[in-house]
Structure 1
Amino acid sequence: MNTPVTLDDVVRLLAENESEARRGLSMVPSENAMSGISKLPLLLDPYHRYFFNESDHPDRWHFRGGQRLRDLEMNLTVPLLRELGRAEHVSVRPLSGLNAMALVLAALGGGPGSTVVTIAPENGGHFATASLARRLGLRVEFLRGAGPHELDLEHAADLLARVRPTLVYVDQSHCLFPVDVASLVATVRASSPGTLVHVDASHWFGLVLGGAFRNPLDEGADSLSGSTHKTFPGPQKAVVLTRDAAIDQRVRETQDYLISSHHFASTIGLGIALLEFRDCGGPAYARAIVAHTRRFGRLLDERGITVAAKDRGYSAGHQLWLDTEADGVAPKIASDRLFAAGLRVNFMAGLPGFAGQGVRIGLNEPTYQGLAGDDLVELADVFAAAVHDTEPSRELADRVAALRLRSRFGATVDSTSPLLETALALCADALRTTPATSRHAQAVAS
């Protein structure tokens, strides 16, 4: 029988987890950290509020809780996304990458019976795209390639001319190298001129906003989406961008029936993260992710760990795939050993080119945490020692904790700043607030 959890247990477990997180390092490529100031809205009143009145029309403030903070979405988050994403039209409504996928498929995929084309899972396509599209009544065809990191454009041309899809949804999830969007768009335009091309850049989004990857909209894509917590260091949320007013209108007409609360506080937190990204070295951070990933792949290879795509420089982005099975260590065991050493990684089946499971890691959060230079050599030494079980995990965990004593990317608030004092006072006030239910219970008890 499970022991009931008390509020004391909640606070204790949160404190223990926070202590462990501050000593450890996440290398899960689909996760990232964010600054304390960008998390502040999640603790305050906007977390509880709806916001719908984007036009600020006086007759449309049916939900008034977000009225005072309206400008933080419309004059901070949205303009920064337009600027960094180079798109005239932005939706900040999606709650996650998968939620954005559902919105785009529903808005642009056509009516029941329409055909959409996406990337085959063995070439890196997202596991959920085809199933979700079929649940919306759409037919699904796949783009394929001879290897796990490429698409066959001749096959694509034949497929597109034959099925004339409403939408090509480019959905790389397991991805070491990005799709050549410009060539794919040219193929679509030549073979099926009426077909829209949407690029889901969830894993690449921070690299796109930082200029380390080319913007798919510049490459001819009709629309772009991405989650904001992978290579971009923001809240767990997603956005949709386009330069086409008609596409934007279709997205807006659809989102009203798929998304109610769009998590207003997270949208404000996203705006703060975008401001930090623009003004505190976002492009340098994006370039560093790419450089660190390629270097770390080489460092692991030199330490006896089999890294996929060695012949292509290991990766063009933030992910590395490790075949520890080939090195005599089952991926689950490798993950366990790394966790004991303070390093969190993915182990999973379904990585393109892998017969069984592999270990998937990312250098996005380590880069955000400030690791660079010789730090990467030390991290590779710890990583390899953990996988091969050549040093005690406790000693390795202490070395990881030492690596965490770095400066993070983003705005640094001086300890004497009035801004910090105000933020801390807001946090303290939020924690001191006693719920009315507790006061009622106390009154009854007395």
Structure 2
Amino acid sequence: MDLQQISEILTRLEQHELRAARILNMVPSENSMSALAKLPMLLDPYHRYFFNDGAAEEPWEFRGVEELASLETELARPLLRELAGAELVNVRALSGLNLMTLTLSALGGPPGSEVMLLSRAQGGHYATASVAARLGLKVCYATGPDAHTLDETQLAETLRARQPGLVYIDQSNALFPLDVERIARIVRHEAPSTLLHIDASHWMGLILGRQLLNPLAAGADSFGGSTHKTFPGPQKALFATNRRDLFERFRATQQYMVSSHHFGATISLALALLEFKHCHGEQYAAQVVVNTRRFGAALDRLGLELDGKERGFSAGHQLWIRTRTSGVDAFTASQRLFDAGIRTNAYPSLPGISEPVLRAGLNEPTYHGLVADDMEELAELFVAAIRQTQPAEQISSRVAAMRARYRFPYRFPSDDPKLLEQAMRLVRVALTQPRE
């Protein structure tokens, strides 16, 4: 490999970065985070192990980040305890799926134990049953009459008959959250020794931003999820509980299922949590819900078919849009939107829907600064792209202009001269590694 090839790679990355600054990403499972929060992943801590938990008496076998350990132990964890309303938190899971595996292993019991999962027909994650089976766990399901409702009678009867060690609720595909308080009451009544864990990956930013009831306050034993969907952070995950026994079970499992927990990304999470607390995270969370409903109503007025209309389209960040009635399948519609500068998620099998549909999320556009008054214009561009009533180049120019109007209201001001100078100095040090 020569320098020319390196230059070509850097050119491609630059081109992507410039394009990314001109488009709107509406994939519900993705979000941005600030450039400031991304910085640690460029630096030396990204390469280092950090096994200690922070107790002063712990021996240091790996000392690479000893002087930075407090960024996890005294910044990330306390911030998360505050925002998550939890006495005990763990930030060492690498992703939502990794957290699922850790939680099922830690709380599901030994091989042969039974766990209750949320049926995929009610939005359960596609991988949960397979992961449970690979851990040797037996599976039963919580089901319901539609995509967003549990059959409480079936839930109670199954709990009473099976007495599973763990109920694991993971709404991977959902427009409306399940009522955790009602689920918790049923679990406590029918199976008092059964644990209840809520995987809140898609709802995380709305929970930390006080738009949805905290699962622990609702009666769950623990909750967790990924930190890059409605929460604008790195691709990691968190676990939260008020029970010391569950925390220790999770920690003991994590020590043997996660080696490097990507300490650079953990520092990024600390910065993202700090921004969320001090840069209007609750306002962002509220705006996500407002924008989603306004955008759904605007698409409906323009003739697109959306699920959940009778309930206000969504209580969160995503919408499910059927495009077949507009004469185009979801994958073709997604390509047309892509060509016009709008990224969506064509999904083949959402609960209760027999045809592929579009999932569109307002979490990242909201994070960039879009507000409710922008939803009519965005809906117009969205529909024009799908129906090809305007040239894609014209729509993409308007999308870029919409994106350029905003200056990231939920971040620290990285264009502050002092912060910018310090950040650029860090980048130069990382790239050139100057010698004295």
Same fold by TM-score, threshold 0.5 exceeded? Answer: yes
Unaligned runs of at least 5 residues, structure 2: none
Distance 1:434 1:330 in 2: 54
* Residue number in structure 2 paired with 1:429: 429
Distance 1:209 1:335 in 2: 31
Partner-residue secondary structure (3-state), 1:186: helix
Distance 1:163 1:331 in 2: 40
Contact kept, 8 Å, 2:279 with 2:412, in 1: the verdict is no
Letter aligned with residue 418 of structure 1 = K
Structure 2 CA distance for partners of 1:122 and 1:5, relative to 1, 3 Å:
farther
Letter aligned with residue 25 of structure 1 = L
* Residue number in structure 2 paired with 1:265: 264
Distance 2:203 2:412 in 1: 25
Contact kept, 8 Å, 1:122 with 1:350, in 2: the verdict is no
- Give the drift of 1:375: 1.9
* Residue number in structure 2 paired with 1:152: 151
Q: Deviations over 1:274-300 (max 9, x none)?
A: 111011100010000011101110000
Letter aligned with residue 407 of structure 1 = R
Distance 1:157 1:29 in 2: 32
* Residue number in structure 1 paired with 2:400: 401
- List aligned pairs for 1:14-163, cutoff 5 A: 14-57=13-56, 60-163=59-162
- List aligned pairs for 1:267-416, cutoff 5 A: 267-405=266-404, 406-413=406-413, 415=415
Partner-residue secondary structure (3-state), 2:257: coil
Letter aligned with residue 37 of structure 1 = L
- Give the drift of 1:58: 5.3
Distance 1:209 1:148 in 2: 25
Distance 2:275 2:157 in 1: 45
- Give the drift of 1:416: 5.1
Partner-residue secondary structure (3-state), 1:61: coil
- Give the drift of 1:348: 1.3
Q: Deviations over 1:394-427 (max 9, x none)?
A: 0000000001111213334364532221111111
Partner-residue secondary structure (3-state), 2:99: helix
Contact kept, 8 Å, 2:290 with 2:372, in 1: the verdict is no
Unaligned runs of at least 5 residues, structure 1: 436-446
Distance 2:412 2:162 in 1: 53
Partner-residue secondary structure (3-state), 1:278: helix
Q: Deviations over 1:50-85 (max 9, x none)?
A: 112223435521111111111110111000000000
> What is the TM-score when the length of structure 1 is the normalising length?
0.95
Distance 1:101 1:327 in 2: 38
Structure 2 CA distance for partners of 1:414 and 1:115, relative to 1, 3 Å:
closer
Letter aligned with residue 426 of structure 1 = L
Distance 1:388 1:52 in 2: 54
Partner-residue secondary structure (3-state), 1:23: coil
- List aligned pairs for 1:105-254, cutoff 5 A: 105-254=104-253
Contact kept, 8 Å, 1:319 with 1:361, in 2: the verdict is yes
Contact kept, 8 Å, 2:284 with 2:410, in 1: the verdict is no
Contact kept, 8 Å, 2:292 with 2:318, in 1: the verdict is yes
Distance 1:346 1:373 in 2: 22
> What is the TM-score when the length of structure 2 is the normalising length?
0.97
Total equivalences in the alignment: 432
Structure 2 CA distance for partners of 1:180 and 1:13, relative to 1, 3 Å:
same
Structure 2 CA distance for partners of 1:357 and 1:417, relative to 1, 3 Å:
same
Distance 2:255 2:333 in 1: 45
- Segment drifting more, 216-225 vs 300-309: 300-309
RMSD, aligned CA: 1.5
Q: Deviations over 1:11-54 (max 9, x none)?
A: 01101100110011100000000011111101111111111222
| Identity %, equivalent residues | 50
* Residue number in structure 2 paired with 1:440: none
Distance 2:110 2:5 in 1: 49
* Residue number in structure 1 paired with 2:5: 6
- Give the drift of 1:198: 0.1
* Residue number in structure 2 paired with 1:438: none
